């Protein structure tokens, strides 16, 4: 998996960064999910290596403008580009009204199948390869963080051993690869699990919505390979950050440390911070959790 940060600002865009949007590329085919879609996300998309036709799903954390104002333009431009593949959007209650009202009042439409799913805390989807759950954040409006978990991949099937033991090739190999039992024509029963190598553990990614400190954070990010967390303000401004439903550098880093996350990527920086301030913000995070990196617009991270 690969993360591309299309926008890393919070509240309003600045000359240094656009507002929030994070693209998760799931495979070498380029299949992509987008997390939040702030103003001008489609412009950022065009400046990246991402392919609009590969965008399958959009997950919205909450309905503040810096996370959703890019949706109407992106959706309608996708129609104008002639992209026929379906799109699904997940988000809190109200996301359907926002999208449908924006399209209706502007006389716009989508020429591809568009599904809008209003979520609550809990399981959002499980497509057999990836499981996504939503976790309630501590923000001033309904807001969620998303935990993305790849299913473990079964180990390789030991085909040479099966051949040596006289098990002929056939469609039953798919069942064996899945660890199932099969019965051969000669009456032998073969347990696929006995012929599989070690499983490959799936990756776990936690993408937080806007939030002040919350106990739920430790469950959302538990043992994650990568945790993406907002760090809207510096440590000295904790009261201001928390009062508006946001976190500081130190508070985000504490979540990474206490949850057992392996890496933290900080994002959603206030527009008050310029490029020269990055070093200070990173130092504050790393004083608590050394495996911290700061995102910037168009930064790409391997998961």
Q: Which residues are catalytic?
A: 66
Q: Is 43 annotated as a binding residue?
A: no
Query: Does residue 228 contact residue 267 with C-beta atoms inside 8 Å?
Result: yes
> Of 61, 65, 70, 66, which is closest to residue 9 (Cα–Cα)?
66
Query: Does residue 265 contact residue 300 with C-beta atoms inside 8 Å?
Result: no
The whole-angstrom separation of Cα 207 and Cα 226 is: 8
Q: Which residue pairs from 276-283 have beta carbons closer than 8 angstroms and sit at least 24 positions apart in sequence?
A: 280/234, 281/231, 281/234, 281/249
Q: Is 66 annotated as a binding residue?
A: yes
The whole-angstrom separation of Cα 193 and Cα 208 is: 37
Q: Is 175 annotated as a binding residue?
A: no
Maximum CA extent, the chain = 74
Q: Is 139 annotated as a binding residue?
A: yes
Q: Is 64 annotated as a binding residue?
A: yes
CB atoms within 10 A of CB 226: 24
Binding residues: 62, 64, 66-67, 139, 210, 268
List residues forming the annotated binding site for Zn(2+): 62, 64, 66-67, 139, 210, 268
């Amino acid at each position: 998996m690969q993360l591309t940060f299309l926008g890393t600002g919070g509240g309003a865009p600045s000359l240094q960064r656009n507002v929030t949007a994070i693209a998760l590329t799931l495979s070498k085919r380029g299949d992509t999910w987008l997390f939040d879609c702030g103003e001008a996300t489609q412009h950022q998309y065009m400046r990246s290596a991402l392919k609009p036709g590969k965008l399958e799903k959009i997950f919205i954390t909450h309905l503040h403008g810096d996370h959703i104002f890019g949706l109407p333009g992106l959706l309608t431009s996708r129609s104008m580009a002639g992209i026929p593949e379906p799109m699904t959007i997940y988000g809190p209650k109200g996301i359907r009204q926002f999208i449908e009202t924006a399209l209706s009042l502007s006389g716009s439409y989508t020429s591809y199948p568009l599904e809008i799913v209003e979520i609550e805390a809990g399981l959002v989807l499980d497509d057999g390869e990836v499981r996504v759950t939503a976790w309630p954040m501590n923000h001033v409006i309904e807001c969620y963080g998303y935990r993305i978990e790849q299913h473990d991949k079964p180990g390789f099937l030991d085909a040479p051993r099966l051949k040596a033991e006289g098990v002929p090739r056939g469609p039953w190999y798919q069942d064996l690869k899945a660890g199932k039992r099969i019965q051969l024509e000669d009456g032998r029963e073969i347990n696929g699990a006995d012929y599989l190598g070690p499983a490959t553990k799936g990756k776990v990614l936690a993408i937080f919505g806007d939030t002040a400190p919350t106990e739920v954070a430790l469950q959302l990010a538990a043992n994650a390979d990568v945790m993406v967390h907002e760090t809207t303000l510096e440590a000295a401004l904790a009261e201001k950050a928390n009062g508006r439903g946001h976190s500081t550098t130190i508070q985000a880093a504490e979540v990474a440390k206490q949850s057992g996350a392996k890496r933290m990527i900080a994002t959603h920086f206030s527009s008050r911070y310029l490029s020269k301030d990055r070093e200070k913000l990173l130092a504050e995070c790393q004083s608590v959790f050394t495996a911290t990196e700061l995102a910037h617009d168009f930064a790409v991270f391997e998961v």
